[in-house]
Amino acid sequence: MRQHLVPHALAGLALAAGLLATTAFTATAATITIATVNNSQMVEMQKLAPIWEKATGNKINWVVLEENVLRQRVTTDISTKSGQFDILTIGSYETPIWGKQHWLVALDDFPAAYDMNDVFPSVRQALTESGHLYAVPFYAESSFTFYRKDLFDKAGLTMPAQPKYSEIQGFADKFTDRAHQQYGICLRGKPGWGENMAYLDTLVNTYGGRWFDEKWNPQLNTKPWHDALSFYIDLMRKDGPPGANSNGFNENQALFATGHCAIWIDATSGAGLLYDKNQSQVADKVAFTAAPIARVPNGSHWFWAWAMAIPTTSKNVAVAKSFLQWSTSRDYIELVGKTDGWTVVPPGTRASTYENPDYLKAAPFAGFVKTAIMTADLNHPTAEKVPYTGIQYVAIPEFQAIGTTVGQMVAAALTGQMSVDEALKQAQASVTATMQQAGYTQ
Amino acid sequence: MNRFKTQLAGGIAWIIAILNFFPIFWMLLASFKSEVEAVQTPPLFFFHPTLANYRDIFALQDYAGYAFNSIAISVLATLLMLLVAVPAAFAMAFYPGRYTRDILLWMLSTKMLPAVGVLVPIYLLSRDLGLLDTRTALVIIDFLSNLPIAVWMLFTFFRETPKDIIEASRIDGAGVGQTILYVLLPLVAPGIASTALLSIILCWNEAFWSLNLTAHNAAPLTAFIASFSAPQGLFWARLSAASVLAIAPILVFGWISQRQLVRGLTFGAVK
Amino acid sequence: MPPDGRSASRVRTFPLIAPSVGVLLVWMIVPLAMTLWFSFRRYNLLNPMLTGFAGLNNYRFLIRDPALPAILITTVVIVLAILLITISAGVVLAVVFNSGFPGQGIARVLMISPFFVMPTVSALIWKNLLMHPVNGLFAGVMRGLGFTAIDWFGSWPLSSIIIIVSWEWLPFAFLILLTALQSLDEEQLEAARLDGAGSLAVFFFIQVPHMARAISVLVMMETIFLLGIFAEIYVTTAGGPGIATTNLPFLIYQRALLAFNVGSASAAGVIAIILANVMAALLIRTIARRLDV
């Protein structure tokens, strides 16, 4: 195809125009509606999209919403077949579930120029259901450990390449200085299946626990859950910031960026901002390492991809496809790198990004992120066998509710309103009821 | 003694008023900070103000489009509401029947159903009527959800109006319509004005239906806010700026019209 | 009272009242019927395979939920606490503002401003800029004074919600009470003062009774809105920790928009309708009688 003839060295705009020339003739001009989250990478896409609009003659209506509202909005739309959107931004959690319902258009027929093999196999697999690719990845993330190099140096300590949770606890104890609002550890505490439970699931996994046994019987009253939750609560009470029960990704990132946290275990996508001198007060002090391990290595770090899919109710499938081929292409990544700098390109999707010397220079965390993403095994998230896929979630429709209810119990245990035993007992009861109601168990 | 008391009361009133307004002022301040300054500890009162947040917002989102939808929906829903509520309140206030009280109370009780409980039914209805992402849908819903309050407010206001005037004009041979138009309306104008103002405020701030039933074409400012709240990363300063933009029109409108709003908010307490 | 007969007046008023009643009836009955229908069905948006009649299952799972009594209590506590705060503070403020002082107009504008702010926005301001235990303003002030910062949403979740919502509704209470107070006859006040009544006596025996009607109205109006408090909880605590701040609307939201379990959400919706009507019967009727409707 033509875009191969365009040398990568060309300026961003010319490059985009060249690429677009290939997609332009495949579809006639139309107006498409795209629903997306308001994360910075998507906002960047919104800023660059006029290039695509100009080249193809199509027009885009943007619906940009915060994550939770977006999820509600697109779920009601697609499950009632209302057809308000032509492109949906969804996660690796929704993709297989919706694909299975045939709510999404299969994207198996992307042209060779798109170079599907450049997309990490683990990422593709996460977006595949019954042999069909139902969404293309925009960016992907895993989780790892951020820490403050300056504090470690001052204390004469070194962070191991693969830390253990017991070691993390030791460090956190040392660095906590409440009088100066410096906290040894920052972890998510805000209830929600995508908030505190995302982190806690990885902790339970590495403690050897699982959500369900092979017959879908809930396992929340088992020892691994108990140990993991007790560890989390002890650690947070002793070394965590106040108000941890309302801290999610954003709040912790803000705390870390303003120098209040010594260690933070969270999404790899948090790295970009922390290295940005304009937004982070610790830009030259932040370092990173793998996510800690407790008992088993399985599922100690998560996998998440933000992807874009086309609902079967769309009346502009061809145009929508052409947009996806642009916005998730190698050339788009290059375009972002050239216009806005390489630190902010959508990470974690393509091998070529991690071969690009500009990116590797701008993003010292790149290698770690790549390894973390490649080693996060969605299909074997736990030490014992499970009937589900997903590391920090369970890819069944009921999980949003289950995860959030359990997240509430965990938050209650964190603030001391419930004991660990009580929280897990109630969580087990609630999950059991939901699974019965949904017909998984009798 | 008395003078001292007045001064004391004035001093207390001012302190409370300032404290009460402070959260809004603090948000305004945050909107001119950089993201890092907005989350700095201890909190910053003095800093180098920047317009960057506002610039970003205007570059990203079509503020005017959202604002237009907010205005159009609030005004149309309020007009529709007045058209239906004024005659009903008039009839109930001047010609109360055996069931007037029950009707009024029943109307108010329809407000007590949590909107989220009927989301799916309303969503399916809107879809089947082709009303998803239309201003029409929001106008109808806002109109219906404010109607009970409006009827009640107007009813209490009308009831305070001297009835002999109406009777006098009836004897003069004026019809019901004319009576309303020429005799009653001028008398109850303040009540109608404040009912309308309250309705506009409530419509403007309605977030649940505006978020769930719109996509792009009909999205008002409450949806605009949702595109700036809680993205990944630091967002407090930019969100503050977006919030200032979303509430500024209604706040200024409220300040200008507060005298009218107050005059009618009597619910029958003023003779 | 119309001098002519009842039947005659009924004929005349019907066309005036009918539109209001008609549209509200449709607005109530159609969703209600659908909600009732869904509440007896197995209906999950995310799982189209799940169909058919559920019988009373949706209700059974709801009633058996051990959290339900606590959630109903929270729903009522939120309403009562906010009523108490806004009305008592509103009464005092109304009296203070009624005394006439320099810059009264501007002070009043500042007082009523929170009423115009969208609930989501005010929740966002309070949560992130004021009550945040590390970089919020309150924490900064507390630390500046040498105290430890309060962990608002961790230690006092329900109180925090009540504070935020009270801030939003105080202006409304204040406005209505002030308007009521301003209608108080000056001569009556003067007479009381000449009789030797002190400020406190005037406050308790003249001003407060004069505001009684306005207070009744406030109780009714605010109850209607406060039973449906949702945005503030959604933004700040997401119903937690545990179920500390989960009220009935939030529970329905969890069923409807997190679980997308329409059957279960509809059952909770039906319970909410029943609760609303009980409240209407109890509270509004007693108050409406006081207002001699």
Q: Where are the domains of chain C?
A: 13-99+169-290
All structural domains of chain B with their residue ranges? 60-264
Neighbours, chain A (3 or more CB pairs < 8 A)? B, C
C127: its two tokens: 């949560």
Residue by residue, pLDDT tens for chain B (271 residues) are: 467 777 888 888 899 999 999 999 999 999 998 888 887 777 778 888 889 889 988 988 889 999 999 999 999 999 999 999 988 988 888 888 878 878 888 888 788 777 877 888 888 899 999 999 999 999 999 999 999 989 988 888 888 777 777 677 766 766 767 776 777 778 888 888 889 998 999 999 998 899 889 988 899 999 888 888 777 667 888 889 999 999 999 999 888 888 777 776 665 554 4
The DSSP bridge pattern shows strands A31-37 and A59-65 to be parallel
Contact assignment for B269 to C183 by CB distance below 8 Å: yes
Tell whether A313 and A251 lie within a shared domain. no
Position C56 scores a pLDDT of 84
Tell whether A190 and A76 lie within a shared domain. no
Tell whether A240 and A259 lie within a shared domain. yes
Task: Note whether A87 and A318 are within 8 A (CB).
Answer: no
Position A49 scores a pLDDT of 94
Residue A108 lies in a domain: yes
Provide the pLDDT confidence category of residue C289 given band limits of 50, 70 and 90: low
Using N-to-C axis directions, what is the helix angle for C262-279 and C57-64, rounded to 10°?
Answer: 70
Measured distance CA(B250)–CA(C118) in Å, rounded: 10
Give chain C positions within 8 Å (CB) of A79. 45-46, 48, 260
Provide the pLDDT confidence category of residue A92 given band limits of 50, 70 and 90: very high
Q: Which of A442, A436, A413, A19 lies closest to A233, judged by CA?
A: A413
CATH class of domain segment(s) C13-99+169-290 = mainly alpha
Residue A376 lies in a domain: no
Q: Which of A302, A325, A321, A301 lies closest to A310, judged by CA?
A: A321
Tokens 């790149």, located at residue: A366
Measured distance CA(C95)–CA(B9) in Å, rounded: 9
Cis peptide before C241 (omega within 30 of 0): yes
b/e code A182-216 from CB counts within 10 Å (16+ = b):
bbbbbbbbbbbbbbbbbbbbbbbbbbbbbbbeeeb
Helix (H, G, I), strand (E, B) or coil at A186: strand
Position C285 scores a pLDDT of 66
The DSSP bridge pattern shows strands A136-148 and A87-91 to be unpaired
Amino acid occupying residue C109: V
> What is the C-alpha R_g of chain C?
24
Q: Where are the alpha helices (DSSP H) in chain B?
A: 2-30, 35-38, 52-60, 63-94, 100-109, 119-128, 135-159, 163-171, 176-178, 185-205, 208-213, 221-226, 236-264
The end-to-end CA distance of chain C, in Å, is 12
Nearest to A76 among B212, B217, B226 (CB): B212
Which residues of A lie inside 8 Å of B (Cβ-Cβ)?
33, 35, 37-40, 43, 46-47, 61-69, 72-73, 76, 80, 82, 84-85, 181, 249-250, 253-254, 257-258, 260, 267, 269-270, 273, 278-281
Query: Containing domain of residue A80, as a range?
Result: 2-134+304-366
Tell whether A415 and A350 lie within a shared domain. no
Disruptive mutation site among B216, B224, B236, B238 for chain A (greatest number of A CBs within 10 Å): B216
Helix (H, G, I), strand (E, B) or coil at C135: coil
Q: Which residues contact A386 (CB under 8 A, 6 or more apart)?
A: A210, A211, A212, A213, A214
What is the total residue count of chain C?
Answer: 293
Tell whether A20 and A126 lie within a shared domain. yes
Mean pLDDT on A285-311: 94
Position A15 scores a pLDDT of 46
Tell whether A79 and A153 lie within a shared domain. no
Helix (H, G, I), strand (E, B) or coil at B18: helix
Q: Which residues contact C105 (CB under 8 A, 6 or more apart)?
A: none
Neighbours of A353 (CB within 10 A): 26
B235 alpha carbon, distance to own chain's centre = 27
Helix (H, G, I), strand (E, B) or coil at B66: helix
Task: Note whether C193 and C203 are within 8 A (CB).
Answer: no
Residue A417 lies in a domain: yes
* pLDDT tens-place string over residues C114-164: 988 999 889 988 988 898 888 888 888 888 888 888 888 888 899 999 999
Residue A378 lies in a domain: no
Residue A380 lies in a domain: no
Element (H, E) at A305: strand A303-309
Position A45 scores a pLDDT of 93
Disruptive mutation site among A104, A232, A245, A435 for chain C (greatest number of C CBs within 10 Å): A245
pTM of the model: 0.85
* pLDDT tens-place string over residues C166-194: 999 999 999 888 888 887 777 777 787 77
Task: Note whether C91 and C211 are within 8 A (CB).
Answer: yes
Neighbours, chain C (3 or more CB pairs < 8 A)? A, B
pLDDT higher than 70, residue C4: no
Tell whether A22 and A129 lie within a shared domain. yes
Which residue of chain B has the CA closest to A260? B41
Q: Which of A254, A229, A225 lies closest to A241, judged by CA?
A: A254
* CATH superfamily, region B60-264: MetI-like (1.10.3720.10)
Tokens 């979303």, located at residue: B246
Contact assignment for C21 to B265 by CB distance below 8 Å: no
pLDDT higher than 80, residue C230: yes
Tell whether A292 and A336 lie within a shared domain. no
Residue A86 lies in a domain: yes
A172: its two tokens: 């956190």
Tell whether A423 and A277 lie within a shared domain. yes
Nearest to C107 among B13, B98, B201 (CB): B13
Neighbours of C70 (CB within 10 A): 14
Tell whether A115 and A176 lie within a shared domain. no
Here the CATH number for the domain that contains residue A412 is 3.40.190.10
Position A13 scores a pLDDT of 45
Mean pLDDT on A358-371: 90
Q: Where are the alpha helices (DSSP H) in A57-177?
A: 67-79, 94-100, 121-126, 149-154, 165-175
Position C155 scores a pLDDT of 85
Tell whether A348 and A312 lie within a shared domain. yes
Give chain B positions within 8 Å (CB) of A43. 60, 231
b/e code C108-146 from CB counts within 10 Å (16+ = b):
bbbbbbbbbbbbbbbbbbbbbbbbbbbbbbbbbeebeee
Residue A254 lies in a domain: yes
Measured distance CA(A162)–CA(A206) in Å, rounded: 13
- Put simply, whether C55 touches A (Cβ < 8 Å) is no
Tell whether A25 and A153 lie within a shared domain. no
Of the listed ranges A178-182, A423-427, B111-115, C247-251, the one predicted with least confidence: B111-115
Total domains in chain A come to 2
Which residue of chain C has the CA closest to B122? C31
